[in-house]
């Protein structure tokens, strides 16, 4: 009798757990929103389906990009310019990931069409130095206040130790990158001009898929330790990277 009672209790428990699980799935399903995406000229595929709980992949572009143009990715807008204040939010990288939040504001009846985001290279500035920093403060330890203070130290270093001219000092870009590691890496790759990264993790060249020359960890930033990475072989890139490994280089970030 006792064994039969135990089996009955066990069966009832399983039924309750199954019912609870099904109810949970139903609730999640009711909360899920989705968008069907069409990529004009996508290669090797032209569609994706994204939801609030699952991302989609973005294809490459099967059309022609001339030597005077640069492909950044995919945009829902008919016209995009590099000088747009929110340019980095107006496209998603090609051969990357598209998220529901990236395109939800442009969807109509659950559908959105993305066109290739191609910019004429004459619109794109050429900088003396480009430094990228991971603007996800909870992860990188960095915020705008620390970066602004560090930028002063950087420019002093470049003038006194590297011999940079006033024109070169005024032609430096300090660029914030947001999102998770994969989306950050996609943006860095799309820009294609970053020399040095600060505040990144050891996975910048794996999960982030960013091609780097070298990286080093245990650099104090915002009370934690993070990585720096060098992406180019320009002399100024090497100088800044080596300086960042010294206490003078990372003092304002620590």
DSSP character string of the chain:
-HHHHHHHHHHHHHHHHHHHHHHHHHHHHHH--EEEEEETTEES--EEEEESS--EE--EE-S---TTEEEEEEESSS---TTSTTGGGS-EETTSEE-HHHHGGG-BTTEEEEEEEEEEGGGS---SEEEEEE--HHHH---HHHHHHHHHHHHHHIIIII---HHHHTTEEEEEE-SSHHHHHHHHHHH----EEEEE-GGGGTTS----SEEEEEEEETTEEEEEEE----HHHHHHHHHHTSHHHHTTT-
pLDDT at 117 over 90: yes
Q: What is the pTM of this model?
A: 0.74
**Backbone angles phi and psi of 114, in degrees to 5:** -110, 135
pLDDT at 32 over 90: no
8 A C-beta contact, residue 91 and residue 74: yes
Cis peptide bond upstream of 27, omega within 30: no
Start and end residues for every CATH 3.40.190.10 domain found in the chain: 129-250
17-26, 34-43, 164-173: least confident range = 17-26
Mean pLDDT estimate for the chain: 90
pLDDT of 10: 52
Query: Does the domain made of 129-250 have the CATH classification 3.40.190.10?
Result: yes
pLDDT of 25: 52
The residues that bridge with 113 in the sheet, in sequence order, are: 38
Does 22 or 38 have the greater pLDDT score? 38
pLDDT tens, position by position, 222-254:
999 999 999 999 999 999 999 999 999 999 999
């Amino acid at each position: 009798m006792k064994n039969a009672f135990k089996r009955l209790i066990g069966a009832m428990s399983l039924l309750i757990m199954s019912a609870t699980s099904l109810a949970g799935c139903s609730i999640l399903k009711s909360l899920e929103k989705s968008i069907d995406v069409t990529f004009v000229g996508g290669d090797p595929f032209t569609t994706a389906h994204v939801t609030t709980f699952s991302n989609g992949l973005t294809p490459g572009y099967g059309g022609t990009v001339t030597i005077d143009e640069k492909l950044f990715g995919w945009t829902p807008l008919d016209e995009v310019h590099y000088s747009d204040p929110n340019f980095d939010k107006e496209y998603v990288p090609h051969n990357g990931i598209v998220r529901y939040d990236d395109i939800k504001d442009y969807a109509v009846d659950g559908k959105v069409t993305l066109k290739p985001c191609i910019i004429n290279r004459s619109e794109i500035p050429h900088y003396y130095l480009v430094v990228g920093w991971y603007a996800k403060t909870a992860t990188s330890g960095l915020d705008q206040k620390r970066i602004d203070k560090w930028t002063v130290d950087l420019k002093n270093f470049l003038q006194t130790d590297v011999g940079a001219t006033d024109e070169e000092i005024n032609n430096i870009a300090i660029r914030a990158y947001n999102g998770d590691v994969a989306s950050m890496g996609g943006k860095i790759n799309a820009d294609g001009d970053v020399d040095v990264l600060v505040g990144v993790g050891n996975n910048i060249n794996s999960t982030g898929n960013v091609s780097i020359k070298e990286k080093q960890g245990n650099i104090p930033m915002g009370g934690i330790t993070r990585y720096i990475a060098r992406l180019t072989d320009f002399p100024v890139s090497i100088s800044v990277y080596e300086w960042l490994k010294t206490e003078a280089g990372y003092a304002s970030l620590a």
